[in-house]
Amino acid sequence: MSKPELVVFDFDLTLASMNVGYFDAGGSNVVDRCFGGKERVAMLENMLQSVKDRGCTLAVVSQNSKATIKKCMQSLRWTERFFGGLIIGWEDSEEKKSTIVTNLLKELGIAPEDMLFLDDMPSNIRDVRANVAGSGTILVQGKGIMAADVESIKTWCNRQS
């Protein structure tokens, strides 16, 4: 049996292609406005599904509001399909991300070296690298996760197996 693994995504400029405000998160064109269009969403869904199929637990850890994230994901049904209850926003914790993911790892019984953490903020990447020894990190640059980041995720998954 493979070891339990955790992949943690930031929301703004990581899953989403922008910094999403509460009023950006509703309406019919969320896919274009908040996620960069249908093609990018399809790429993300393929990636999330294959990571999930491998048995990884998926989580969102964000300094945005959980209510905004859920509202934004509603039309995509990502909460149900991929993240279950593991969407952590500022309502849940205002601790630094390394503290939040350390608690999550303990709760889930997952080792730090079996966690991959993605974020667009260098300060969050530095925090996790410094305080969650052994974990994998990917600094997302530009407007959220793109093809090169998907490749980096695959590389991490292969390295683990």
Enumerate binding residues for Mg ion (CB under 5 A).
Answer: 10, 12-13, 120
Length of the chain (residues): 161
Q: Which two tokens stand for residue 128?
A: 């996790």
Whose Cβ is closer to Mg ion: residue 41's or residue 69's? 69
- Output the CA–CA distances (angstroms, integers) from residue 15 to 2, 103, 106, 107, 120, in the order listed: 26, 22, 24, 24, 10
CB of 109 to Mg ion, least distance (A): 27
Whose Cβ is closer to Mg ion: residue 55's or residue 136's? 136
Whose Cβ is closer to Mg ion: residue 92's or residue 113's? 92
Closest CA to 11 of 47, 52, 62: 62
State the residue number with the nearest CB to Mg ion: 12
Whose Cβ is closer to Mg ion: residue 10's or residue 149's? 10
CA pair distance 152, 154, nearest whole angstrom: 5
> What SS3 class is residue 139?
strand
CB of 119 to Mg ion, least distance (A): 6
CB of 14 to Mg ion, least distance (A): 5
In one-letter notation, the amino acid at residue 158 is: N
CA pair distance 10, 42, nearest whole angstrom: 18
CB of 160 to Mg ion, least distance (A): 24
